Structure 1
């Protein structure tokens, strides 16, 4: 069996042709494909505005900047995430505080967030960065209620969940990144994600003021908009009005994103099909626990809003299974090492034992291959090897 990774991009001839056409056009960057991708993505998630950037980490950083995170800010996030979800706060000088997870889903535990917020005076915390881990949507309606009570902003890290949704109290699907409950949301277009642009990210929001800040900060804090200029010396004139960054994304990557987005529903359907096969294979299997779906992501008729960026199981001998699978050309992965146990965060006061649910999850978790081009034969091979090890 050829190597089977935990995730991989799926590039078609249409993708390649779109990139070639852009390479042959007048614009390689700052051209029309950027706005085209932004508009298509905003429609896809149901948001008013979208801002394309160089990667998901840049997206998080710009969100923190636009919200005014600074040395006085305290922001809550989950320890089970890629460290960028926390680092964006540190980039702006703010303090990161972690809330433990719900062990059933590995999502941030909103009850624990409430305990943290209510234990401090109003204004002590600035905001919350929930993560739709593995594609499993956080119930942002519940989190928004808490945020409104205490004056908090919300940045939804939906890097794993384009096309995912939860069901609100009115029975309506709320798609990740639609801006109904979060002030902003971010997405990643890394090759293992649903939509691959090599590198790339997106911010979505329904707030026009935040949208304008994001556009400014994305390009060095520079504007050419005549309505915003403090002076105007002529058609060449531009002004740096804020300290921004070069977080632009090239047109050729946006061209790839547009064609990838056109297949997003097809890819999502395949991911859910793969998940169902895994679910059926591991149902009742001794020694194999499947990470659960947030109940809020299930409709009354059984449809799931889980976007399945990852398919995570938990086993007692995770290291043994990881090594065994690699010996058989299956390159499963671990997501994630708890952020608070990283040397950097230990250096600011965190230690092992601070978040027992997150640490317990980490000791047992393993992400199995999950991507649309995974064949039925490859998936059955993965299932066979996982079961063989867990029965040994």
Structure 2
């Protein structure tokens, strides 16, 4: 998953698998407009089998709902077309042989996942603006970085991704163990000032019914536990202004740090 728009090194992942039968599917719901370190676009599937994008209303562009899948495989492409349209197949040779122009077969269990013409038209009109949408988010992330660079209790994503990521989210890591209040208290305090924040995301083993009661998962995923305990996503959207970002950062820089005697 290209979390928040930060590109995963899929080429390295592919090499590490050392399995020609392995299938790599990229979750790029956050990453439309993102580029890899070699500057190729996410979705080109150079080192994966498929890439999935989301066009939900809060994503980089929207069609109201839905998404697309990209692939370089002709076989996968044909299979995806089946799944998109009820698994329905119309074989022209068989129709001619049976002399039944209405004949079709259903080759797999599926549903109707077709885009409407309206969704496609909306998506195409937004796609033309994607570059400017991405550029604006990149500029705002650089403002966050500039304002918070000397803040010892806040960490930002690696700077190397500043001009590569489409930045669907602005995920900051805050060391709450050094502050005088909890994440919940900070979120409420900021909300009262009109600054809405969110946590992205709860680890699956904490919420997925089939996993959450099966074993002591936190011990198996210490890095995930650490990230989850510190992550807080801050406002990042096209109409947000540089002045507003600086105002948000000013509030963060006011946070009271615990004195050594409290540790």
Name the TM-score class by shorter chain. 0.7 to 0.9
Greater relative contact order structure (CA < 8 Å, 6+ sep)? 1
Counterpart selection for 1:338 from 203, 209, 212: 203
Q: CA deviation at 1:383?
A: 1.6
Q: Distance in 1 between matches of 2:200 and 2:215?
A: 23
Question: What residue is the counterpart of 2:240 in the other structure?
Answer: 374
Question: What residue is the counterpart of 2:142 in the other structure?
Answer: 276
Q: What secondary structure, in the 3-state scheme, does the structure 2 residue paired with 1:304 have?
A: coil
Q: CA deviation at 1:244?
A: 1.5
Q: Aligned pair 1:312/2:182, yes or no?
A: no
Question: What residue is the counterpart of 1:184 in the other structure?
Answer: 50
Q: CA deviation at 1:390?
A: 5.0
TM-score, normalization by structure 1: 0.60
Unaligned 5+ segments in structure 2 are 177-181, 259-263
User: Structure 1 225/267 Cα, relative in aligned 2: closer, same or farther at 3 Å?
Assistant: farther
Q: What secondary structure, in the 3-state scheme, does the structure 2 residue paired with 1:134 have?
A: helix
Between 1:144-153 and 1:369-378, the stretch displaced more is 144-153
4+ runs of 1 displaced by more than 4 Å?
Answer: 227-233, 347-350
Q: Distance in 2 between matches of 1:291 and 1:328?
A: 25
Q: Distance in 2 between matches of 1:384 and 1:134?
A: 23
Unaligned 5+ segments in structure 1 are 1-130, 298-302
8 A Cα contact 1:313 1:368, kept in partner: yes
User: Structure 1 153/255 Cα, relative in aligned 2: closer, same or farther at 3 Å?
Assistant: same
8 A Cα contact 2:147 2:246, kept in partner: no
Question: What residue is the counterpart of 2:179 in the other structure?
Answer: none
CA RMSD between the two structures: 2.2
- Name the larger-Rg structure: 2
User: Structure 1 147/245 Cα, relative in aligned 2: closer, same or farther at 3 Å?
Assistant: farther
Counterpart selection for 1:139 from 1, 6, 9: 9
Q: CA deviation at 1:354?
A: 2.1
**1:50-88 C-alpha deviation (Å, 9 max, x unpaired):** xxxxxxxxxxxxxxxxxxxxxxxxxxxxxxxxxxxxxxx
User: Structure 1 389/240 Cα, relative in aligned 2: closer, same or farther at 3 Å?
Assistant: same
